[in-house]
A and B are shown apart, each in its own frame.
Chain A
Amino acid sequence: MFKSVSGFCLLGPSPQDMERHHNSATRTPLNNVGVQRRSKSYRLSYRSCLGTAASRLGLTPALTARRLNTSRRALKPHGVAEKVDPEQLALLVKTEWQLSYVTPLHQFRHTQLKSYSRRLAAFIAAGKQQGLAVAVENPQTTFRVSFSLVEGMTESADDAETVLIQIHARPSFAGQDEPQRPAWSGWLTCVNGNPDYLRSLPKDFTCLPLFGSSGAEGLGALVKSWFQQSFDCCFGPLEVSHTSLQWLMALWTNCHTEASIQHLKMIWTLPAVPPLEVTYTVNPEDAWELWRSVRKQKENRGGGGEEEENCIDIEEVADFVQGLKSHFYRHFRLDLSAGSLNQVSTALGSAKHSGRMKISNSRYMTTTLTLLTESALLKMPI
């Protein structure tokens, strides 16, 4: 295990490296844009294939490669804290969530959350009893499900409101009068979803592509299958890609002056036998120094006006990561480019390649969720 918290030598990456890196960093899984609504008939097929599509995007939606945005707004302390009920916000931060993507929900109504709570509770009780020959008395009292609306999380008019689900359960061996304890919680959200995609969906679909879950796995599975049966949607695991992890690193570091990141920790895995795991921790000031120099380079290159100030490009992210890598190489003669980034964490949050994510500071939640919403939308089958 390597650990490097030492001071930083700034070393500009060579142009070739940057080029190469940039290429590899921007390459994200190919996917299609927009939903192609294909009706049964040939004529309709023609229309959606070339007609409406041509007017909207100029290309057949299914035929266009979709990528992660290559430029995004820098994190700034957003109004989330003011907009969202602090109690609800407290439930969202400081918990590690296992992420999934969800295909659009059919016939989901934000107005029916009460009835959903009831139905999900009954479903869980029924599911828990499956395989048990003897009915457990009063299953309803064992589980309490609450759906709640988290208002204020949305960023654009096309985003659907976030839904928070909590399940309280009485421990199976507790007495009747013991209080119920939170056993599972999860949420569905959409922050800054691709408007083209969202608008292309018919009215009776609600797109909340990002799903986070935390708590007993069995309950999580039951919740998912209830959603699948009720809203005809599908769940799939959402990994935080290499590129997204790098984005998070850069975006978090960018906030250092406003909210200390305390440390920038990365875990890399190198393909050696046996696999070599490198934990690389960077002093926050050093990381900030490096990031600032990367930003400066951009300004020197003549990076445009006011509004571009707040934008971070993938090139800068790549430069930043390349700087970290070459520093590591100077010390350990180990090129991290050969390996893969598995985990990043700062005081603002942490994310793992396996799809576990924690946001520790609610002020910077929006940008993180925007990035993850984007990744989730990339996973949509159509």
Chain B
Amino acid sequence: MAATLSLSGSPGLDPSSSSDQSVSSRSNNRSLRVAEKERKKNEAEDPFVLALKYFSDVEAGTPVHGNDEVEKNMVMVEKVAYMKGLSPEAISIMLEFAMSLRMGTTLCARVLKCLIPATVVPQEAVVRAVVWLGIGKIPISTRILFIKWVLTVFDMIDAKDQLRAIYGFIFSYVTEENLFPFICHLLYLLTRKESVRVFRVRKLLELQSRLGRQPFLLSLLSLYKVFCPELVTLSISSRIKSGFRNHNMPWKSALIAVQKRNGSQVATSISLASAIKTNPRKRKHCHLELPVLSSVVSKEAQTDPSSSRKVVPLVQLHSFAHILENMHRIELPAQMGSLLGSSLALQYLDCVQDESALLRLNFWLGHALHEEFLFCGDGGASQNSEEALQFLNTLLSTQHFLQEGFSCSEAFLYKFLSVWDGSLLRPQILGLLSNIPVVPSSQIRRLLFEPLMQLFFTSSLFFKCGLMECLNNMLLKWLTWHSVYALEDDLDISLNSHTSINMTLSRFKDSVMELVDFVGQLASLSLQLEGCHSLLLSFILDFYETVCDTFLKYGLPLVVMPTPGVFYPALFATDPVSVDRLAYIMYRYKVNLTSAKSQEKLTEVKAFHISRQTFREFNHYAVVMVNCLWNSNMFQPDMGVQLGEELLLKSNVPQYWTSFDLIHHPAFMSYAVDFHQRCWPERKDMDLNSIKHSKPWSWYLEYLFSQGYDGLKQFVQSNISRPLTAAGGHVDRQDDGHVDRQDNGHVDGQGDRQDNGQDDGLSTLQR
């Protein structure tokens, strides 16, 4: 309708256009009214509206204690207030309810604390409340709270004229000692030129002479002086900026949160902005804040000026060279926690090895961790996760810098693991966990494995992967410590001059063994649970890549074979990368075992003993792998995986014994097909078995190796002796089309196994 009207009217005619606007607005109004009605009907059942109604109607003198109804309604109002803020009407109702003390003083303060405006604060409500201030018996602390609230929401009050009209009334409160600073602030905000009167100036000057030059008073006086310099003869330094402190703490954060949620523009009020600028006071629990690097208040310097020893506070040092110059006279800071922020300081700490300095740091850090994550009942950690994240990241980078975990974070983790949900700050917690030093094997299960096991099996795949990575890092760090600190000539970890007792190698080995066994258990179970997920498998193989090299890389005479639960899923994995990595791991095992054996023979030291069982396990795995991949000879009776003959026949898989050789293995089948097509492009029907002939077989291997399967290459080269067909040109074709039966390289465990024909040869190659 509006559109047609405006079309009919000539564009130059203002009245018509204005009339159609009014028409359209009227129609809008009608629809608004309908909507309003609808809304009102809905609101009748809204518990919040009911709560407001309760507070506007409740009779004076209703008891509060034990009154469930008021409690329920109060909680309702608080919930809405902190969620969305209160509407102007709600503010009016609640403020009136509170200030009239209809239900006593305790509720009054509680209401004031939740008066968070969603949009604006109606001026009338504030004026009424100020009036109540004069007649009610409101306790002084609540009065202060009220004035603070007015100061906080001052810029959200919809008009100020009535407030200015009662300037004199407000001014009369300056005589109240406790209210005085806040009243001054409020007056400061309300003062106009016409409010400055001689009697007021006189009153303020009188107060000043009695109370001294209080900053808030000076600020107000200086404003008076700006308006009426002739009345205020006092000289006020121009340097005072603001004598008012921020009184808006109880509401500030809630207000900002509500406004953020509402997307309100009112947030950019001056008082809030200035409040943030001047002094963003820290939240109540600020244990995660690093202390400032500051020097100790030097007592000696005062009491003993003759002392020749001049100390240099750490805070004055700015370069590494500077540290080196002053190494002998550096003074540690007053609070060791401040070191965390400074790499220079950490460098110094690393050098001095001061026991009590470290202990101080540990106390501070442990306190922060405990308070933030363990003692806070209100889930404080989730509230300020950003801060917690930064803190833990700082801690982690410090630990990386020092290359050692702090004992307090270790103690903290043992407790935290039992309450952790596995997702809060996961990367950081796992990072800290991977830093913990060697745990004695007698304790490791209770402290570490039991809580971890619970978390592991109840968490997602990604947690499982994360934990695998973490345990791998932990093992790497343990092994690195070992390799750095164990002396070559001594199998025990060093006895230093100032240490009385040491951890013996065997105890260290026990711990490592426990860890590897534990990961083995987790790995085999989780592979079953997750259906041999290749991502998980990859993290598990990462771990075994560390395990297989313990002897050669880290000098720890310990070789632990993977459990069947890991070995077979990796061998039968559908992705070639896993098979390749398994082959690499087996190759490294062989190198390690071979080298351990030769060393064992050389030194004849008992501690070097690697159990026969390990050799046997390795040989077994090697046989299985060679039979599977190379000899097309699956399901040998001595294999770990056994299936009944009938069952295999029943499966109707032709030549089932070949199904996991390098050609038919699901991981490599696509390569075999590709190879077949390249090799014999003219052939129509594909016969993968033809690859098994000696010459194409070696070509096929070359082809696989060229695809980057180095692990496989190393495994084959170290375990299988083949006639070098390609090089030698000697083709040894057999009728059945199979390449010669190759055998695996056995690593012999002990010399006493000579009875079975395999002598001390470390790697027996058979054709």
Contact = CB atoms under 8 A, between A and B. Distances in A.
Tell me, yes or no, whether A binds B. yes
Interface of A: 1, 30-32, 35-52, 54-55, 59-60, 62-63, 103-104, 106, 112, 115, 119, 131-134, 136-137, 171-173, 175, 201-202, 204-205, 228-230, 232-234, 236-237, 274, 379-382
Nearest to B481: A42
Interface stretch (B259-267, B348-356, B733-741): B348-356
B71 A62 contact: no
Contact of B294 (A132, A205, A229): A229
The 4 closest A-B pairs by CB, nearest first: A381-B366, A51-B501, A234-B367, A38-B407
Nearest to A136: B212
Contacts of B412: 381
Contact of A36 (B364, B411, B447): B411
Interface in B578-636: none
Contact of A173 (B211, B240, B500): B211
Contacts of B484: 42
A381 B213 contact: no
Given A1-B65, A382-B366, A131 B279 contact: yes
Contacts of A382: 359, 362-363, 366, 407-408, 411
Given A45-B404, A232-B360, 11 more contacts: A38-B362, A40-B402, A45-B438, A50-B501, A54-B501, A131-B245, A132-B215, A201-B359, A234-B287, A234-B364, A236-B370
Contact of B414 (A41, A62, A119, A133): A62
Most B Cβ at <10 Å: residue of A171, A232, A233:
A232
Contacts, number: 187
Interface in B689-710: none
Nearest to B240: A133
Most A Cβ at <10 Å: residue of B72, B414, B484, B507:
B414
B503 A37 contact: no
Nearest to A123: B297
B494 A43 contact: yes
B502 A274 contact: no
Contacts of A112: 299
Nearest to A47: B499
A48 B440 CA distance: 12
Contact of A43 (B334, B358, B502): B502
B336 interface: yes
Contacts of B213: 134, 136-137
B367 to A, nearest CB: 4
Interface string B207-220: 00011111100100
B542 interface: no
Interface string B432-457: 00000111100100010000000000
A242 to B, nearest CB: 13
Residues of A contacting B: mostly: loop
Nearest to B363: A103
B242 A46 contact: no
A63 B407 CA distance: 11
B291 A228 contact: yes
Contacts of A49: 437-438, 440, 503
B66 interface: yes
Contacts of B438: 45-46, 49
B68 interface: yes
Interface in B203-253: 210-215, 218, 237, 239-243, 245
15 contacts: A31-B415, A37-B358, A37-B359, A40-B404, A42-B404, A42-B493, A52-B501, A119-B297, A172-B177, A173-B211, A201-B359, A204-B356, A234-B367, A236-B371, A381-B365
A119 B297 CA distance: 10
A113 to B, nearest CB: 13
Contacts of A59: 443
A72 B177 CA distance: 51
B677 to A, nearest CB: 57
Residues of B contacting A: mostly: helix
B336 A232 contact: yes
B356 A50 contact: no
A52 B355 CA distance: 15
Given A55-B501, A133-B239, A381-B366, A46 B493 contact: yes
Interface residues of B, number: 81
A51 B503 contact: yes
Interface string B417-437: 010000000000000000001
A226 B335 CA distance: 11
B496 interface: yes
B415 A236 contact: no
Contacts of A103: 363-364, 367
Contacts of B501: 47, 50-52, 54-55
A52 B218 CA distance: 64
A381 B369 contact: yes
Contacts of B365: 381
A210 B180 CA distance: 37
A112 B245 CA distance: 35
A39 B358 contact: yes
B410 interface: yes
A39 B361 CA distance: 12
A232 B239 CA distance: 36
B362 A205 contact: no
B411 A381 contact: yes
Most B Cβ at <10 Å: residue of A42, A62, A237, A274:
A42
B485 interface: yes
Contact of A229 (B334, B371, B502): B334
A379 B415 CA distance: 12
B320 interface: no
Contacts of A381: 362-363, 365-367, 369-370, 408, 411-412
Contacts of B368: 234
Given A43-B499, A137-B212, A50 B440 contact: yes
A239 to B, nearest CB: 9
Nearest to B332: A232
A78 to B, nearest CB: 31
A280 to B, nearest CB: 15
A106 B361 CA distance: 11
Contacts of B447: 63
Given A44-B499, A137-B212, A232 B364 contact: yes
B169 interface: no
A46 B336 contact: no
Contacts of A204: 356
Nearest to B243: A133
Contacts of A39: 353, 355, 358
A228 B292 CA distance: 11
Contacts of B404: 40, 42, 45
Interface in B438-483: 438-440, 443, 447, 481
Nearest to A134: B215
A328 B350 CA distance: 61
Contacts of A106: 356, 360
A205 B360 CA distance: 9
B518 interface: no
A193 to B, nearest CB: 16
A367 B182 CA distance: 46
A42 B358 CA distance: 14
Nearest to B360: A232
Given A44-B499, A274-B72, A134 B218 contact: yes
B375 A46 contact: no
Nearest to B482: A42
Contact of B496 (A36, A43, A60, A137): A43
A234 B375 CA distance: 14
